[in-house]
Each structure stands twice: as structure tokens, then as C-alpha cells.
Amino acid sequence: MRLATWNVNSIRSRLDRVVGWLDQADIDVLALQETKCRDDQFPAERFEAAGYEVAHVGFSQWNGVAIASRIGLDEVEIAFPGQPGFDKDAETSLLAAPVVEARAIGATCGGVRVWSLYVPNGRTLTDPHYAYKLEWLAALRDTGARWLAEDPAAQIALVGDWNIAPTDADVWSPEFFRGRTHVSQPERDAFNAIAAAGFTDVMRPFAPGPGVYTYWDYTQLRFPRKEGMRIDFILASPALAARTTDATVDREQRKGKAPSDHAPVVAEFADR
């Protein structure tokens, strides 16, 4: 099984690139983030024509996650249990209800429970979105730990754009990012707590870094200057992690005309 995750930064803008890459890279399951469209705008027919079933959730031009699979797409679930919402009007209204955003979708593909996740950005260390990010990650940790407690042999993949660089080796300049989101200790602690719950970063053994990045900002020529961040991950449950045979970043997909600012992460798992 070849599983990939890719923040495409608008599926409608990258559709030809993404569908072409699926065939080129021989991908069985692709988790997408930042599709930036409503469900009725998602180009499912292009994926279906290529032999993939698709599940998507998107409410507006923001966020949006999807899973495309050619090996089955069963038990689709929007939002993980306990996923918190974000009250964007919290500072001006005590009556506003938190909105559960389009940031998580799960499906069983070839016997593996795949979750496509778009972790909140955090914005700044003092922004309400930062507290929301930590709450969101804590809820995911609790839910993931419960899944493994209920079934230690579960085949689960938590994949996507985590908006966290877990170590200094995962950013081009620790000094540049000092005092910013993505590298703060609470964020790193939240990421490590999910690892402690039993989920393994399957790519780290194959590409320990430094200099192995998945995201390069569009500004300041970050990509040609190799000034990136590693913030996209495939975290696998113990039973699934044990099947890992390879994992890599397809850096070539950050090149060319109108690329996403992220590159896809691909992991390969042996048959059971």
C-alpha cells in the first residue's frame, strides 16, 4: 500500500498536477488538505475517472480535507470524535457557537483507517487560534489513545499538515522562527504527546534530516534557497508502523508552474 498526504493549497488550482501525480507516483491512497472548496465544488469526477473513490468535506474557500482511494473507501467519518470547534467571534460575542471546521475526515482504505488532518495554524502565540490549536491536538491525542486502547492491533494512519516542526532540525533556521508558532514548546509537546500515545512518524527513520522539508513559503525565494519546514507527517499506529518499508518527500512537486507550497509525503507499507 502506498499512502500519501499533500496539502494542495486549493484543489481546483492544482487539479491537473494532483491527478497526474497519482498515476505517476502509483499512489493507492491520497489524503488532501486545504482543498479550499465546498463539497459541491470538489472535482470528484476527475478522481473517479482516474479510478479513485473520493470523500471530501469543505464548507467554504477555507480549509477542506479529502481522501482519494483506489483500494476501497469505507466507513467515511467527518470530524474525529471530540474534535473541538473554533469560535471566531469569541472576543465580540458570548453567544457564538464554536464551529467544527472542515479539518478532519476518516475512511477505511484497504484495511487501514486513514485520517486526513489539517491541524489549525495557530497564527501567533497570543492569538485565540493558538489556544484552539492546542485544544484540537489534545483532543486528537485523547481520541487516538482511546482507539489504541480499544484495539492495540488497529491499523491507523493520522496524516496531513500538522503545522508543527517537532525539532529544530525540521526548520531551516531555528533562530528565524524563535518566538513564532509551529516551533513553540507547547506545540511540540502536543505533537510528542500524540507520539507518546502510540503513533510513530514513519518517515523519520528514512529521512532523519536536517534539511528534509515538506513546506517552503512562496515568499523570499524560500524553495530555491532551501529554506523550508517539515510540517507534514504520516503518523502510524504500532501495527501499521511495523509494516513500513519506505517513506519520502516528493520534492519535485514543489517545482514547476503554480505548485502548492507543500510537497507530498509518501509512505509504503508491506502487505499483512
Annotated binding-site residues read 7, 34, 161, 163, 261-262
Cα separation, 103 vs 7, whole angstroms = 12
- Whether 262 is a known active-site residue: answer yes
219: left (phi over 0), alpha (psi -120 to 50) or beta: beta
Q: Which of 161, 170, 201, 232 is catalytic?
A: 161
Helix (H) or strand (E) holding 132: helix 128-150
Q: Which of the residues 28, 52, 118, 213 is marked catalytic?
A: 118
Identity of the residue numbered 154: A
On whether the CB atoms of residues 35 and 60 are closer than 8 A, the answer is no
Write out the binding residues for Mg(2+): 7, 34, 161, 163, 261-262
Helix (H, G, I), strand (E, B) or coil at 247: strand
| Residue 161 is among the residues annotated as catalytic for this protein | yes
| 8 Å CB contact between 122 and 182 | yes
Catalytic residue among 52, 56, 182, 262: 262
Count CB atoms within 10 A of the CB of residue 205: 11
Active site residues: 118, 161, 262
